Chains A and B, each alone.
Chain A
Amino acid sequence: MFLEIKNLSVKIENKNILKSLNLNINKGEVHAIMGPNGCGKSTLANVLAGKEDYEILNGKINFKDNDLFDLNIEERAQEGMFLAFQYPVEIPGVNITPFLHSAINSKRKRMNEEEIDNLSFAKLLKSKASDLGINIDMLKRSVNTGFSGGEKKRYEILQMSILNPDLAILDETDSGLDIDALKIVTDGVNKLKTKDNSFLIITHYQKLLDYIKPDYVHVMVNGSIVKSGGSEIAAEIEKDGFQKFQ
Chain B
Amino acid sequence: MNIQDNYQKNRKNIFFSENKDIATHREKLINIFENDRFDKKNNESLKNINLKNFIDFKYKYLIPEETSVINNNHENSYSIVSVNGQCSTFKDDKIEITKIIDEDYNDFSKNNTIEKNDHFVNLNSLFLNSGFKIVIKRNYNIKIKISNIVTDDDLTIFQKNNIICQEGSSLSLIEEYENKNNSTSNILNVIKLEKNSQLNHFLIQDNSSNHNLIITSHSSCKKDSTYTQKVYNFSEGYVRNFHYSELIETNSEADLQGIFFLKDNNTSNNKTFVKHLAEDCKSNQVYKGILNDRAKATYFSNTHVDQVAQKTEGYQLSKGILLSDNASYFSKPELKIYADDVKCSHGSTIGPIDENAIFYLRSRGMSKIAATKILISSFINEELSSIDNEQMSEIIQKKLVRYLSKVK
Measured CB to CB, the residues of A under 8 A from B are 49-52, 72-74, 76-78, 82-83, 85, 88-89, 91-94, 99-100, 102-104, 106-107, 110, 142-143, 159, 163
Using known A-B contacts A91-B378, A142-B378, determine if residue A102 contacts B370 with beta carbons closer than 8 Å.
yes
A-chain residues with CB within 8 Å of residue B337 when the two chains form the complex: none
Expressed in whole angstroms, the Cα–Cα distance for A22 and B202 within the complex equals 61
B-chain residues with CB within 8 Å of residue A50 when the two chains form the complex: 362-363
Listed from nearest, the 6 A-B pairs whose CB atoms lie closest are A93-B378, A93-B381, A73-B362, A77-B365, A103-B364, A106-B365
Residue contact B360 to A91, C-beta cutoff 8 Å: yes
B-chain residues with CB within 8 Å of residue A52 when the two chains form the complex: 359
B-chain residues with CB within 8 Å of residue A74 when the two chains form the complex: 362-363, 365-368
Q: Count chain A CB atoms within 10 A of each CB in B363, B365, B367, B378 and give the residue with the most.
A: B365
Q: Which B residue sits closest to A77, measured CB to CB? A: B365
Using known A-B contacts A89-B357, A102-B370, determine if residue A94 contacts B378 with beta carbons closer than 8 Å.
yes
Residue B377 is within 8 A (CB to CB) of chain A in the complex: yes
What would 8 more interface pairs be, CB under 8 Å, given A85-B363, A103-B364? A49-B363, A50-B362, A77-B362, A77-B363, A78-B365, A91-B375, A107-B365, A163-B364
Chain B nearest CB from A68 CB (Å) reads 14
Residue contact A103 to B356, C-beta cutoff 8 Å: no
Q: Which A residue sits closest to B358, measured CB to CB? A: A73
Q: Count chain A CB atoms within 10 A of each CB in B354, B362, B367, B380 and give the residue with the most.
A: B362
Expressed in whole angstroms, the Cα–Cα distance for A52 and B368 within the complex equals 12
Which one of A99, A100, A107 lies within 8 Å of B374 (CB-CB)?
Answer: A99
Expressed in whole angstroms, the Cα–Cα distance for A43 and B213 within the complex equals 51
Chain B nearest CB from A104 CB (Å) reads 8
Chain B nearest CB from A80 CB (Å) reads 10
Number of cross-chain contacts by CB at 8 Å: 74
Expressed in whole angstroms, the Cα–Cα distance for A100 and B366 within the complex equals 10
Chain B nearest CB from A174 CB (Å) reads 20
Q: Which A residue sits closest to B380, measured CB to CB? A: A93
Residue contact B359 to A93, C-beta cutoff 8 Å: no
Residue contact A89 to B360, C-beta cutoff 8 Å: yes
Residue B78 is within 8 A (CB to CB) of chain A in the complex: no
Do most interface residues of chain B lie in helix, strand or loop, or is the interface mixed?
A: helix
B-chain residues with CB within 8 Å of residue A99 when the two chains form the complex: 361, 364, 366, 374
Expressed in whole angstroms, the Cα–Cα distance for A26 and B348 within the complex equals 50
Measured CB to CB, the residues of B under 8 A from A are 354, 356-357, 359-368, 370, 374-375, 377-382
Expressed in whole angstroms, the Cα–Cα distance for A72 and B364 within the complex equals 12
Which one of A76, A82, A88, A93 lies within 8 Å of B360 (CB-CB)?
Answer: A88
Chain B nearest CB from A34 CB (Å) reads 23
Residue contact B357 to A91, C-beta cutoff 8 Å: yes
Q: Which B residue sits closest to A89, measured CB to CB? A: B360
Using known A-B contacts A93-B382, A94-B375, A99-B374, determine if residue A85 contacts B360 with beta carbons closer than 8 Å.
yes
Using known A-B contacts A51-B359, A73-B359, A99-B374, determine if residue A92 contacts B381 with beta carbons closer than 8 Å.
yes
Q: Which A residue sits closest to B368, measured CB to CB? A: A74
Expressed in whole angstroms, the Cα–Cα distance for A91 and B379 within the complex equals 9
Expressed in whole angstroms, the Cα–Cα distance for A92 and B385 within the complex equals 13
Expressed in whole angstroms, the Cα–Cα distance for A80 and B220 within the complex equals 60
Residue contact A106 to B367, C-beta cutoff 8 Å: yes
B-chain residues with CB within 8 Å of residue A94 when the two chains form the complex: 361, 374-375, 378, 381
A-chain residues with CB within 8 Å of residue B364 when the two chains form the complex: 77, 99-100, 103, 159, 163
Expressed in whole angstroms, the Cα–Cα distance for A42 and B113 within the complex equals 56
**18 A–B contacts from the bound complex (CB under 8 Å):** A49-B359, A51-B359, A73-B362, A73-B368, A74-B362, A76-B363, A77-B362, A77-B363, A89-B354, A89-B356, A89-B357, A93-B379, A99-B361, A99-B374, A103-B365, A104-B365, A106-B365, A142-B378
Expressed in whole angstroms, the Cα–Cα distance for A80 and B246 within the complex equals 58
Q: Which B residue sits closest to A87, measured CB to CB? A: B356
Residue contact B363 to A73, C-beta cutoff 8 Å: yes
B-chain residues with CB within 8 Å of residue A89 when the two chains form the complex: 354, 356-357, 359-360
Q: Which B residue sits closest to A98, measured CB to CB? A: B374
Expressed in whole angstroms, the Cα–Cα distance for A51 and B363 within the complex equals 9
B-chain residues with CB within 8 Å of residue A83 when the two chains form the complex: 363
Which one of A49, A51, A93, A102 lies within 8 Å of B366 (CB-CB)?
Answer: A102
Expressed in whole angstroms, the Cα–Cα distance for A203 and B295 within the complex equals 46
Expressed in whole angstroms, the Cα–Cα distance for A142 and B367 within the complex equals 19
Expressed in whole angstroms, the Cα–Cα distance for A50 and B379 within the complex equals 25
Which one of B361, B362, B370, B382 lies within 8 Å of A91 (CB-CB)?
Answer: B361
A-chain residues with CB within 8 Å of residue B363 when the two chains form the complex: 49-50, 73-74, 76-77, 82-83, 85
A-chain residues with CB within 8 Å of residue B379 when the two chains form the complex: 93
Residue contact B362 to A93, C-beta cutoff 8 Å: no
A-chain residues with CB within 8 Å of residue B380 when the two chains form the complex: 93
Expressed in whole angstroms, the Cα–Cα distance for A100 and B362 within the complex equals 12
Expressed in whole angstroms, the Cα–Cα distance for A73 and B358 within the complex equals 10
A-chain residues with CB within 8 Å of residue B356 when the two chains form the complex: 89
Expressed in whole angstroms, the Cα–Cα distance for A142 and B381 within the complex equals 11
Chain A nearest CB from B263 CB (Å) reads 21
Q: Which A residue sits closest to B383, measured CB to CB? A: A93
Q: Which A residue sits closest to B367, measured CB to CB? A: A74
Q: Which A residue sits closest to B362, measured CB to CB? A: A73
Expressed in whole angstroms, the Cα–Cα distance for A89 and B360 within the complex equals 7
B-chain residues with CB within 8 Å of residue A142 when the two chains form the complex: 378
A-chain residues with CB within 8 Å of residue B382 when the two chains form the complex: 93
Expressed in whole angstroms, the Cα–Cα distance for A34 and B363 within the complex equals 23
A-chain residues with CB within 8 Å of residue B362 when the two chains form the complex: 50, 72-74, 77
